[in-house]
A and B are shown apart, each in its own frame.
Chain A
Amino acid sequence: MRQTLDYLRETASQTAGPYVHIGLAPGAAGFDIYREELGRDIAGPNARGQRIRVEGLVIDGMGSPVKDVLIEVWQANADGIYPTPDGGAVEDGFRGWGRVITDFETGEWSFETVKPGAVAGRHPTVSSVARRVRDTHPDWMGRTDEAAARMAPHLNFWLVARGINIGLNTRMYFPDEAEANAADPVLNLIEWEKRRATLIATRGEDKAGLPVYRFEIRLQGDDETVFFDI
């Protein structure tokens, strides 16, 4: 008998197309059908932490804004905790997920949320040897290995649009977290230091003093944004 593997194969992706809004944001397509569209409120009313606005553009290889892109955002709360199916250890009403659509005339997009906290990294559980060293010589270790393994605060982005065959995954990091960014295990995976900068937003403030982070995503060109195969 020939041995076989019984795995199924993932369904192939196809472009979301120009009319993605009909399905995922019908109000933007020009009609009202659902009681409530999903993804409009990322953090909810009870979220702790710093309220922020994030804005930007997605720019194509010709330097033009991608006016029909749809972005989904996934983030941890201010404590660095992601919601789980049972709600998890996040504030009531914190979804951590949002859908962001553009102004069809300009391609500009923006959303409001709270700034996420640092998130446990890939190896939050250190080796037993390292833990023993830390527990017996805390000063010698300098900092805890949990801290070393933490990922800097970031927002996870997923981009779909006409002309994008499979959703593009990237991350936005914060410019006011230079130390955490320098230690971030994901940014440090990127061999070319210059490319790491493509994931770091710039910071401003609106008239009311709300921090506004601007993040321009370049699909191609000299400053092509880093995209991840996750």
Chain B
Amino acid sequence: MTPAEFYQRDRRLQPPALTPDYKTSVARSPRLSLISLENTASEITGPTFGHGDIDPIDNDLIKNHARTGDPIGERIIVHGRVLDENARPVPNTLVEIWQANAGGRYRHKKDSYLAPIDPNFGGCGRTLTDGTGYYFFRTVKPGAYPWRNWINNWRPAHIHVSVFGTAFCQRLITQLYFEGDPLIAQCPIVHTIPDPDAIQQLIARLDMNASVPLDCLAYKFDIVLRGRRSTLFENRLEGN
């Protein structure tokens, strides 16, 4: 079957390139319009990954860098489904995450925040969705941290999420926030997104039903990738 094309990206809900309240975007944003390109083979295909590419422990951030014990912090499960705009699951797709530790410090040679590195926490994980598009990670809740933008900006607790889908035009990186965090409303990076509902879609909900009693809380985070047209009319291929 010829892979079908995708619905156009709704740029009204996506952040524009130039968002002056997020200062770094000013010098890094194209000023000219994007050229709209109807899908070709280069956009509707994309890399795929298998269980040979990753290890089962890769989705357990509590264990995948444990050296002398478990990392410090609030133990959580992050789980959900990868869906497309047609509400169909996206199976066997690679989901990668990265985050600061419970004190808000990243294990990165360029992070110099004064909160300490946790010797038992790497801060990255990866997994493949199952046949129903479901994924989960176990980790510790990241801490808020300050960053240089205005004099006193703090990032809300967040986990970076990278997803592939089946086509290069579905490629997405976003950030997961946590329900109830008062820093969300103040964050210039969150508010690069012009659409309030689209922001709500980035806030993981506390999911007591998925928590493990006496062990860890859970947050649910569904991810929606662009949807693919469903029908390919043989007599008008140009429309599909």
Query: Chain A: residues with CB nearer than 8 A to chain B?
Result: 6-24, 26, 29-31, 33-36, 38, 60-62, 64, 66, 68, 72, 74, 76, 82-85, 95-97, 104, 119-123, 125, 151, 154, 156, 158, 160-169, 171, 186, 189-190, 219-220, 224-230
The distance in angstroms between the C-alpha atoms of A215 and B100, with both chains bound, is 33
- B115: Cβ under 8 A from any A Cβ: no
Q: Do the beta carbons of A189 and B30 come within 8 Å of each other?
A: no
Asked if A13 contacts B35 (CB within 8 A), the reply is no
Q: Which residue of A lies closest to B226 (CB)?
A: A10
CB pair B35 A23 closer than 8 Å: no
20 A-B residue pairs with CB within 8 Å: A6-B87, A11-B202, A17-B160, A18-B110, A18-B111, A19-B111, A20-B160, A23-B126, A31-B122, A34-B55, A35-B55, A38-B94, A60-B27, A61-B27, A62-B27, A85-B48, A219-B27, A227-B34, A229-B8, A230-B43
Q: Is the CB of B41 within 8 A of A26?
A: no
Main SS at interface, chain B: loop
Which residues on the B side are within 8 Å of A20 (C-beta)?
A: 98, 160, 173
Chain A positions within 8 Å of B94 at CB level: 38
Picked from A23, A190, A220, the residue with its CB within 8 Å of the CB of B124 is: A23
Q: Tell me the smallest distance from the CB of A224 to a CB of chain B, in Å.
A: 5
By the criterion CB–CB under 8 Å, are B195 and A167 in contact?
A: no
- The number of chain B residues touching the other chain, given as a range, is 35 or more
Chain B residues with CB below 8 A from A26, complex form = 122, 124
Binary per-residue interface labels of chain B (40-63) against chain A in the complex, 1 for a CB within 8 Å, 0 otherwise: 111101111100011100100000
Question: Do B15 and A166 touch (CB < 8 A)?
Answer: yes
Determine the chain B residues whose CB is within 8 A of the CB of A13 once the complex forms. Answer: 14-15, 172-174
**Is B215 among interface residues, defined by CB-CB distance under 8 A?**
no
A211 to B149 CA separation, bound complex (whole angstroms): 42
Evaluate contact between B27 and A12: CB separation under 8 angstroms. Answer: no
Task: Check B84 for interface membership: any CB of A closer than 8 A.
Answer: yes
- Interface residues as binary, B183-194 with A (CB distance below 8 Å gives 1, 0 otherwise): 000000110110
Cβ–Cβ contact B197 & A9, under 8 A = yes
Would you call B85 an interface residue if the criterion is a C-beta within 8 Å of the partner chain's C-beta atoms?
Answer: yes
Instruction: Point out the residues of chain A lying under 8 angstroms from B168, CB to CB.
Output: 74, 156, 158, 230
Do residues B15 and A66 form an inter-chain contact, with CB atoms below 8 A?
no
Q: Which segment of B17-25, B69-77, B205-213 sits at the interface?
A: B17-25
> B residues within 8 A CB of A30?
107-109
Q: Find chain A residues with CB under 8 A from B53 CB.
A: 36, 38
Cβ of B229 to closest chain A Cβ, rounded Å? 12
Shortest CB-to-CB span from B85 to chain A, Å, is 5
Q: Which of A10, A161, A226 sits near B35, CB closer than 8 Å?
A: A226
- The 10 tightest CB contacts between A and B, nearest first, are A23-B98, A163-B24, A97-B47, A163-B28, A165-B15, A229-B34, A82-B45, A14-B175, A30-B109, A61-B27
Q: What is the CA–CA distance of A112 and B172 in the complex, to the nearest angstrom?
A: 25
A residues near B198, Cβ cutoff 8 Å? 9, 11-12
A9 contacts B13, CB within 8 Å?
yes
What are the residues of chain A within 8 A of B171 when measuring CB–CB?
Answer: 72, 158, 167
Q: In the docked arrangement, what's the CA distance between A125 and B41, Å?
A: 13
Nearest residue, chain B, Cβ from A82:
B45
| Chain B residues within an 8 Å CB radius of A156 | 42-43, 168
Given contacts A29-B106, A163-B25, A165-B17, 15 further A-B contacts (CB under 8 A): A6-B87, A8-B83, A8-B86, A14-B160, A23-B96, A23-B124, A30-B108, A33-B124, A34-B58, A35-B54, A85-B92, A154-B42, A163-B26, A163-B27, A230-B168
| Minimum CB distance partner of A186 in chain B | B37
Chain B minimum-CB-distance residue to A156: B42
Q: 1/0 per position for B116-148, CB-CB distance to A under 8 A?
A: 000000111010000000000000000000000
Query: Which residues of chain B come closer than 8 Å to A6, judged between CB atoms?
Result: 87
* Contact call B46/A125, Cβ cutoff below 8 A: no
Q: Is B201 an interface residue (CB 8 A)?
A: yes
Assuming A8-B84, A186-B37, A220-B30, is B48 touching A83 (CB within 8 A)?
A: yes
Query: Are B84 and A12 closer than 8 Å at their CB atoms?
Result: no
Given A19-B111, A165-B17, A83 and B45 contact (CB-CB distance below 8 Å): yes
The minimal Cβ–Cβ distance linking A79 to chain B, given in whole angstroms, is 13
Assess the A119–B96 pair: CB atoms within 8 A. Answer: no
The closest CB in chain B to the CB of A75 belongs to: B42
